[in-house]
Amino acid sequence: MPKVLISDHVFPSVALERNVLESAGITLEEVKPPCKTEDDVIERCQGADVLLVQWAPITRRVLQALPNLRGVVRYGIGVDNFDIPAIKELGRMAANVPAYCQEEVSDHTLAMIISLARRIPQDHHQMVKGGWGIGPFLPIPAFSDLTFGMIGFGSIARKVSEKAKPFRFRQIAFDPFTPSAAFAKHGVESASLDTVLRTADIISLHCPLTAENRHLINAKTLALMKPGAILINTARGPLVHEADLVAALKSGKLSGAGLDVFEKEPLAVDSPLRGLPNVILTSHAASASERAKDMLQTQAAEAARDIVQGKRPQGALV
């Protein structure tokens, strides 16, 4: 029987995957302990036709050591841990779950935006220490006087845009890969990256991590931002140079930041971000809901099944 292996995962159960695969005559096995390194995958995943992968690295070396592997499926949208050029060159298949958690991440993003724009974290921080009064956090502008800028205008950013409309922000976005008609459809102004950085009061990151945009937010780009701007990152941690962000938050250049993702995860216990009163930190949790989890596990298993059966799966990347 063909075999699908789960290299690593954090789910309490894989019953959903088992139901999809075993009903199609495919064996499902979990690798224990879960794989964390290339060597782990090479040693523990021999004999797999398809791998279901959460965080384990799928590199050229791994693929070459697993010659019978037909494809890999990522539990999620991002594929930072997949060597896509090597997968393509070696004739394997790769897929993700592209529709996963769009509602959840957009909800989480908007929650951070509203909270920081109203200075809620700062006021909470002072009150638990016995303080009172909004004087230290002024000025607090009306939402209708704020410009909300997005860097990246894909499916999640568009959902954030729609959900933010009742709050009356002016909306602008930068995305060189999105046709102008998409901006017009959503009532969002298309702008250059420089314009977003210089004019937005709130900037939310919604782009994938690439070699070109690693540390997109750094000392230089932070210096371009408006005094008192707010930064939100629910996309990928390494888009932001954290040391430069900390400096901007401490100096007052930025009034706040909402971060769900970090350069290295989990966030170090001694990270200076943990001690800042003008920051919302969440533990890569923006995608979380029971509905999203069930969708992720089911659709990932369906993609693995399709690869085994010689079909092109939904979410195929190569």
pLDDT at 21: 98
Number of domains in the chain: 2
One domain for residues 111 and 77: no
What band does 125 get if pLDDT is binned at 50, 70 and 90? very high
Q: How confident is the model over 244-289, as pLDDT tens digits? A: 999 999 999 999 999 999 999 999 999 999 999 999 999 999 999 9
Residue 318 included in any domain: no
Residue 314 included in any domain: no
One domain for residues 183 and 145: yes
One domain for residues 271 and 162: yes
Please say if 162 is a catalytic residue.
no
Angle at 233 between CA 228 and CA 235, to 5 degrees: 160
Q: Is the whole-model pTM more than 0.75? A: yes
Please say if 236 is a catalytic residue.
yes
One domain for residues 155 and 214: yes
| List 236, 242, 263, 302, catalytic entry | 236
Residue 135 included in any domain: yes
Please say if 284 is a catalytic residue.
yes
One domain for residues 141 and 45: no
pLDDT at 81: 95
C-alpha to C-alpha distance for 151 and 97, rounded to whole angstroms: 22
Residue 181 included in any domain: yes
One domain for residues 74 and 136: no
pLDDT at 169: 98
Mean pLDDT for 127-136 is: 96
One domain for residues 253 and 149: yes
One domain for residues 143 and 272: yes
| List 43, 89, 168, 265, catalytic entry | 265
C-alpha to C-alpha distance for 78 and 107, rounded to whole angstroms: 19
CATH no. for residue 252? 3.40.50.720
C-alpha to C-alpha distance for 284 and 216, rounded to whole angstroms: 19
Domain span at 276: 102-281
Beta strand pairing call for 279-281 and 254-259: parallel
Average pLDDT score, the chain: 97
Burial class of residue 271, CB neighbours in 10 A (0-12, 13-18, 19+): middle
What band does 293 get if pLDDT is binned at 50, 70 and 90? very high
Q: How confident is the model over 213-239, as pLDDT tens digits? A: 999 999 999 999 999 999 999 999 999
pLDDT at 130: 97
